[in-house]
Amino acid sequence: MQKELIIAGFGGQGVLFAGQVLAYAAMDSGFEVTWIPSYGPEMRGGTANCTIVIADEEIGSPLVQHPPYAVALNLPSFDKYEAEMQAGGVLVVNQSMVDRISRRTDITCIFIPANEIAEALGDKKLTNMVAMGAMLACLPELSLKDVQTALSNHLSARHKHLLPKNFEALQRGCDFAREHLAAQTAS
């Protein structure tokens, strides 16, 4: 088994942090993992993405060119990675920042109002965890509990008070995606 994932958005959206948490969860669960960050010189407001490869055996290459899984937190990321996705892949899209539908019919797109869900939880900075929760609904190798444990184990002491809200954001995103996928299969 090998799963390849790209998380992309603007700097400041927690793109790299979401990828790190996912990588830690996979590593703590006994998987082989690579995590490669990439961001522009502007950092906040510039583009940022990271690739994560999770495998049950040694990883031959950490490069991800045509991901089967991706999270796009803004329109430029959606425009770029929708075109690069493998057929049959899953793309989680932050509908709050994307004003169009998918142009592809051979991938599953989960449009989630991640900003609105995060704001309803009281903190717009939770958008990345909402989107990550939605992706977890499609990655059976990692559970919500795995990611929550990784957050607990790897979040710095000064941020531990944020754990309950992060857990709730993950749960809300996961619930939203599961409902979306169930509705798609029912129709």
> Which pLDDT does position 81 carry in this prediction?
93
Q: Which residues contact 31 (CB under 8 A, 6 or more apart)?
A: 54, 55, 56, 141
Q: Which residues contact 5 (CB under 8 A, 6 or more apart)?
A: 19, 22, 51, 52, 53, 54, 64, 67, 68, 69, 70, 71, 135, 139
The count of domains in the chain is 1
> Which pLDDT does position 170 carry in this prediction?
96
Percent of the chain with pLDDT over 70: 96
Average pLDDT of the segment spanning 120-137? 95
What pLDDT, in 10s, does the model give residues 137-163?
A: 999 899 999 999 999 998 888 888 889
pLDDT of residue 169 exceeding 80, the answer is: yes
> Which pLDDT does position 46 carry in this prediction?
66
What pLDDT, in 10s, does the model give residues 40-58?
A: 665 556 678 999 999 999 9
Select the more confidently predicted residue: 115 or 154.
115
Compute the distance between CA of residue 86 and CA of residue 146 in angstroms, rounded to an integer.
26
DSSP string, 88-121: T-EEEEEGGG--S--S-SSSEEEEE-HHHHHHHT
Average pLDDT across the chain, whole number: 90
What pTM was estimated for this model as a whole?
0.90
CATH number at residue 106: 3.40.920.10
Identify the burial level of 54 via C-beta atoms within 10 angstroms of its C-beta, where 0-12 means exposed, 13-18 middle and 19 or more buried. buried
pLDDT of residue 60 exceeding 70, the answer is: yes
Band of the pLDDT at 186, cuts 50, 70, 90?
A: confident
> Which pLDDT does position 43 carry in this prediction?
54
> Which pLDDT does position 44 carry in this prediction?
58
Domain interval for residue 68 = 2-186
CB 95 within 8 A of CB 112: yes
> Which pLDDT does position 173 carry in this prediction?
96
